[in-house]
Structure 1
Amino acid sequence: MAEPVDAATFLDACRVDPAVQELRGDYRAVLIVVEGIVPGRAPADPGAIDALVAAAEAHARALLAQLPVTELPHIAAWREAYQAFGAKPQRTRNSLEALTRRAQSGLPRVNPLTDIYNAISVLHQIPLGGEDLLAYQGPAQLVRATGDEPFDAIANGEATVEYPEPGEVIWRDNAGVTCRRWNWRQGRRTALTEQTTSALFICDSLAPMSAAALAAAADALTAALRGFGPDVRATRRVVTA
């Protein structure tokens, strides 16, 4: 059984490497630890998640009726960031772009926790990831990869281990990669499941997203998760480049 994690201690140890600062000095994120989640429990209103997902899908359609997806301001900023560390944004799309594109025809449904953060991502136009905190080994670190960090992935339906490209921006812990290409693909080891009781959520932002808009997205996520247990509590920290 995984050892309990003190939220404040964990968040205080999380860091953004100076090499990422050199790449994008405008980077800002809110890290949120949510504890007290009752496994298998959904919000008291059984239609709340469906309504949130439907609102996100409608919002995406409204946005894309005005601009191409690649010209939406925050998506365009993330495409530039991907190009800066050598990724091809047309082949490996940041998570916000991928979800906004999919939302036109319907967001994927995975599990309640994931469905909520995907919907908040689209509604607030922000890359947002969620992971099982108890699967972490050490703090979350945003760094540029050396290329030898293991990444637990699924390829063609089979579990496999991949490695990032040298210089790629990755989230990692002491055991290896937790998310590749900043916010492109999360790993299998720390994925949220129906048994998750403590979760880490990462809300990523670049200019032109304001600090107020970033905080609003974090607030919306926290509010949406309160129904997952009588003792749900959230601790957050803002990290910057």
Structure 2
Amino acid sequence: MAHFMIDSSFWDLFPEAKIGVVLLKDYQQLAESPKELQELLAESNELAKSFVEGEPFAENPVIQVYRQAFQKFKTKKGARSSIEALLKRAKSGKPVGSILPLVDIYNAASLRYALPCGAEDLDRFQGDLQLGLTEGGDEFYLIGSDENTPTLAGELCYRDEAGAVCRCLNWRDGERTMIREDSQNAFLVLELLDPSREEALEVALQFIVEQAQKYLGGQAVTQILDRESDSMAL
């Protein structure tokens, strides 16, 4: 059985971090989100504005947490946490739109609780999934690209035996393991780097489970990983 493991190199950088995981298995395939789910996403875009009311944008506490985190490891130039991109869109009046039902659910959670969130197709992993610093050179194809852009030495990423899955924490997903219309088993992850917001992580995980089971069915399991409990079966 494959596992998700968080390497000590991650905990050395972020000893108080918590990583929330949802495993959603045998869920229903839907080509597009029902109206209610699209409305939930629209509501989440509005709620997200409360996290970035201050000016300048970069000085808002949530943005600062992840900007400072990204200074602790090697990144591609201009790399920013996914939550910064979502909050910037919400604030600027360019809301995140509907993509696929599961993507809409985790984007809604990310917006409502100001936490980076991503998802991968469990069936497309090769071997164990690991989060940690890499020596570089891990194969990676950005969604929509046929060009290999390998990881950098000292970059923090999710990777399996075939290469990188998601780069610079939850910055960029790869084509190989992205959620598709025919995906049936998913790995969803939320990254909490501010220990004072643990309750937000717990509520966000529950939100994802409730919405996924409401619209997609399937079986969901959640777990929060920390330095003392740093792995789980997939």
TM-score when normalising by structure 2: 0.88
CA contact (8 A) 1:15 1:239 kept: no
Give, in whole Å, the separation in 1 of the partners of 2:148 and 2:122. Answer: 21
The 1:170/1:183 distance shift into structure 2, 3 A limit, reads same
Counterpart in the other structure of 2:112? 123
Give, in whole Å, the separation in 1 of the partners of 2:22 and 2:188. Answer: 5
Return the offset for 1:217: 0.7
Counterpart in the other structure of 2:226? 240
Which runs of structure 2 are paired with 1:1-241 in the superposition (5 Å)? 9-10=1-2, 13-40=3-30, 46-87=34-75, 91-104=78-91, 105-154=94-143, 158-230=145-217, 232-241=218-227
Counterpart in the other structure of 2:231? none
3-state SS of the aligned residue for 2:142? strand
The 1:229/1:153 distance shift into structure 2, 3 A limit, reads closer
Return the offset for 1:67: 4.8
Structure 1 gap ranges (5+): 1-8
| Superposed CA offset, 1:79-108 (max 9, x none) | 11100113378x111000011111232114
CA RMSD of aligned residues (A): 2.0
Structure 2 gap ranges (5+): 228-234
Give, in whole Å, the separation in 2 of the partners of 1:158 and 1:30. Answer: 29
Give, in whole Å, the separation in 2 of the partners of 1:135 and 1:228. Answer: 23
Amino acid at match of 2:220: A
TM-score when normalising by structure 1: 0.86
How many residue pairs get aligned? The number is 225
Give, in whole Å, the separation in 2 of the partners of 1:20 and 1:146. Answer: 13
3-state SS of the aligned residue for 2:204? helix
Counterpart in the other structure of 1:5? none
The 1:80/1:39 distance shift into structure 2, 3 A limit, reads same
Counterpart in the other structure of 1:4? none
Give, in whole Å, the separation in 1 of the partners of 2:56 and 2:219. Answer: 38
The 1:209/1:188 distance shift into structure 2, 3 A limit, reads farther
Return the offset for 1:29: 0.5
Give, in whole Å, the separation in 2 of the partners of 1:63 and 1:148. Answer: 36
CA contact (8 A) 1:74 1:125 kept: yes
Return the offset for 1:77: 1.2
The 1:228/1:35 distance shift into structure 2, 3 A limit, reads farther
> Taking every aligned residue pair, what percent have the same amino acid on both sides?
29
CA contact (8 A) 1:34 1:200 kept: yes
